[in-house]
Amino acid sequence: MTNIPDAASLRGAVDLSALANRQQPPAGEQAESPQQTLPGLIYDGTDENFNQFIELSNTVPVIVDLWAEWCGPCKQLSPALERVVNDYAGRFVLVKVDVDANPQLSQAFQAQSIPTVVALIGGRPAPLFVGAIPEQQVREVFEQVLQIAEQNGVTGSVSVDAEAGVDEADEASEPEPEPLPPHHQEAYDAIERGDFDTAIAEYRLAIAQNPNDDLAVAGLAQVSLLQRLAGADAGAVRDAAASDPHDVAAALSVADLDLSGGHVDDAFGRLLDLFASADSETRDRIRARLVEYFEVVGVTDPRVIKARGRLASLLY
């Protein structure tokens, strides 16, 4: 579990001062369970708008999902979080924070690995879990959050006003996104089922039909990472690599863990260091894995550009 700061250490990224004098009910009196009306239950949190969710956490627990576009496990977890929040029908609000786009919040929550899930209860962050977990386990965690919230006097709920706000009306008027190409849709559906073999096969078919299908190339890289990590014991993987620093397979597995946990520079650095002293056959394996990582993270990401430069210097 990653280190989550207390409320005071979030200052600077978000302002908690308004919550410092939060009124508690007199001893022996039961606080009312307030209800607020909101446009929805799921929001995108940013460095600019996050304070409103801290205030909202006085009424209802706010679940914070720290994720990134390139993070494969995040794509597994986020839909489960959304389903569970919707099922609780106003007992929670979900705020999704893209750590790459919101560095202040990422730093404030010390999100060293992603996905990281935190609850805000009465303005105070409480760590929940790191990494993708099964939906049933998510529900069990949420039940524990409700118990903690009740102990801290946060017993309210929110209702959804389907007609609230011009912004929502504007969203409704936006055209529906175009459907995915058939092989992409089949791959996406397979990932939702946890059937990574089928997803890989579908992306490969898409690439065979169009070698310039960048989305299929990136999708294949992401689902290949998910397949390699499925059922892996992180502790055993790291122990194996530590016991034999020259074991290329173990190093590649640890790099997978680093990348999936958000430690992008660590994953790149580990493989580039290994590449520098490897023979030609091993270099081919490492280079193929690095190229896959570049697709997962995004070829325009500054960390990818830096790693590509170092790889080129080692090649030539």
| Angle 113-116-117 from CA coordinates, rounded to 5° | 170
Looking up tokens 């929805």 gives 40
Tokens of 135: 């939906």
Q: What is the C-alpha separation between 45 and 66, in angstroms, rounded?
A: 9
Q: Please pick, among 74, 77, 154, 216, the residue that the annotation labels catalytic.
A: 74
Neighbour order of strands in the sheet with 93-98: 42-44, 93-98, 62-67, 116-121, 124-130
> What is the DSSP code (8-state) at residue 23?
P
Q: Tell me if 158 sits within 8 A of 37, measured CB to CB.
A: yes
Q: Which of 56, 63, 71, 257 is catalytic?
A: 71
Closest CA to 118 of 63, 56, 45, 79: 63
Q: Is 74 a catalytic residue?
A: yes
Pairing mode of beta strands 42-44, 35-38: unpaired
Instruction: Provide the residue type at 75 as one letter.
Output: K
What tokens appear for 6 in the block?
Answer: 């207390």
Q: Is residue 71 annotated as a catalytic residue, yes or no?
A: yes
Euclidean distance between CA atoms 295 and 289, whole angstroms: 10
> CA–CA separation, 143 vs 150, rounded Å?
11
Q: Are 79 and 192 a contacting pair, CB within 8 Å?
A: yes
Where in the sequence numbering do the catalytic residues fall?
71, 74
